[in-house]
A = this chain, B = another copy of it.
Amino acid sequence: MQRALNVSREQNFPEWYQAVVDQADLAENSPVRGCMIIKPWGYGVWELIQSALDRRIRETGHENCYFPLFIPLSFLAQEASHVEGFAKEMAVVTHHRLKTIDGKLMVDPDSALEEPLVVRPTSETIIGDAFRRWINSWRDLPILLNQWANVVRWEMRTRMFLRTTEFLWQEGHTAHVGEADAMQETLKMLEVYRELAEDILAMPVAVGEKPENERFPGAVSTFSIEAMMQDGKALQAGTSHYLGTNFSRAQNIRYQSASGELEYCHTTSWGVSTRLIGGVIMTHGDDDGLRLPPRIAPHQVVIVPMLREKPEDAAVLAFCDELKNDLDSLSAFQAPLRAHLDRKSTRAANKRWDWVRRGAPILLEIGPRDAANGVVTLIRRDRLRDGDRIVSTAFPRREFLAQVSAILVDIQGNLFHEAKTRLESNIRNDLATFEAIAEYFGAASEDDNSGFKGWVRAPWARPDGAELEQIDARLKGLKLSLRNVPQGQTRPAGRCVFTGREAVEDILIARAY
């Protein structure tokens, strides 16, 4: 069967992923190692994700602000486990001047900084330093801040959107009087992330707490949303951390309580990044390219006039212009509908396939006959084909305009439903021993594309310390990891698959990005 991409998910999932990133015009590799150029279509998706999340961050009482890109080396040394987790691979600014020496532009050796600066991998330490200065009394709490920023982690193996040296994200940082308040905040933002993933990205997620060995460096508890990709792997799509008093003790962030005592603040942090776009690709993409949920599609409806460089073109374009105007006056998802008229002089068939690969939810193809008859021919990207055939439906113009908002809602729901079914039907919970799990996943090779395995949900006794490290090492040997302990468990647990002891809860196990 002929598809719009020259590699299928089944043939080679990683290559398919890269083909979508390229051919949907989302991003490309830059000449700077591990850094990507986010192209307008990909950046448009990010802006819509930002806008939906930013509204929710404000509605929950947070304010945006901006902290410096650079963090003094000494700040990172303050919180021991934070350093341990992050200090390894970072971009370090050591000089502040270039100089032409013997005709060649070089780093001026005389411009060494007294203290090297690290390009922020995350901002707990520099924001904590401000909290220390800003917080005096319990009356100053809570402080609820967020910033949209770029961060840099010097990753060894990079993959577009999923793991890049520089990426874009938001990071929330808050300080509270006590554990209850801070934990409530942590869970509130976790729920905001779930809603973003499921309602906006149409990407169903498992919501839960990470086991001890997967915590953020310096956190007391880390919670995540985990999405299932079409190769069965898990993608950690967002995290929310209760930091306890770890950072406030390290940085002396204290407040005077109502009774006059000096107390340490309880802090949180939480973030999602451009990685979400990787999640959207691997949740909704098919062998014809990307399929975008309408809520994050920069163009929800694309009009493609079938131009032939003939006199009829004028009537076709006039009809399309009017259609575009009509669409511009409509709403979808309580916001103005986003329509686009593709006037490019390329062939209509090329335009069709470009927009199919980019994942525009609705495509309208308008030929001279359509224009004359007041008809639009509609292609839904989520139901592009019936077998090999492209499915298109003709609508009288008025009827289409009356229905288009509902069709977009239907596409959004359809994509979510499809992914939700995949998630729910691919979690095995009948594997009672580690050996059964190992056998199920089979031997792991470096590039394992051997069929869809999904996740395993298994009871465990919440082992910790050295025992957990050993379990983690055994799992790593199978390229598996512990994902999270899903919220809202009701099922009574059996025996721990790792220790044989009585289980206290279920945990998700999967291969992961």
A residues sitting closer than 8 Å to B (CB atoms) are 30-32, 35-40, 43-44, 46-47, 63-77, 83, 87-100, 104-107, 111, 116-119, 126, 129-130, 139, 145, 149-150, 152, 154, 166, 168, 345
Contacts and interface: CB of A to CB of B under 8 A. Distances in A.
A interface majority secondary structure: strand
Contacts of A92: 93-98, 107, 111
Nearest to A62: B40
Report how many copies the assembly holds: 2
Given A40-B64, A46-B66, 6 more contacts: A30-B130, A31-B126, A36-B68, A91-B117, A94-B95, A94-B107
Contact of A40 (B99, B119, B145, B345): B145
Contacts of A154: 96-97
A396 to B, nearest CB: 32
A87 B107 contact: no
A96 B91 CA distance: 5
A251 to B, nearest CB: 12
Contact of A69 (B35, B44, B95): B35
Contacts of A68: 30, 32, 35-37, 166
B98 A87 contact: yes
Given A44-B64, A98-B87, A69 B38 contact: no
25 contacts: A30-B67, A30-B68, A31-B72, A31-B126, A32-B68, A35-B70, A37-B66, A37-B67, A37-B68, A40-B145, A43-B63, A44-B64, A69-B119, A69-B166, A74-B105, A83-B100, A83-B105, A87-B105, A88-B97, A88-B98, A90-B96, A91-B96, A91-B117, A98-B118, A107-B116
Nearest to A40: B63
A382 to B, nearest CB: 25
A35 B123 CA distance: 14
Contacts of A152: 69
Nearest to A37: B67
Contact of A105 (B77, B91, B98): B77
A149 B117 CA distance: 19
A339 to B, nearest CB: 15
Contacts of A73: 98, 105-107
B96 A93 contact: no
Contacts of A43: 63-66
Contacts of A90: 96-98
B105 A96 contact: no
Contacts of A75: 31
Given A35-B69, A76-B98, A91 B93 contact: yes
Given A30-B126, A65-B43, A166 B76 contact: no
Contacts of A35: 68-70
Nearest to A74: B105
A442 to B, nearest CB: 36
Contacts of A97: 88-90, 92, 154
A105 B88 CA distance: 10
Nearest to A105: B77
A103 B330 CA distance: 63
B91 A32 contact: no
A117 B32 contact: yes
Contacts of A345: 139
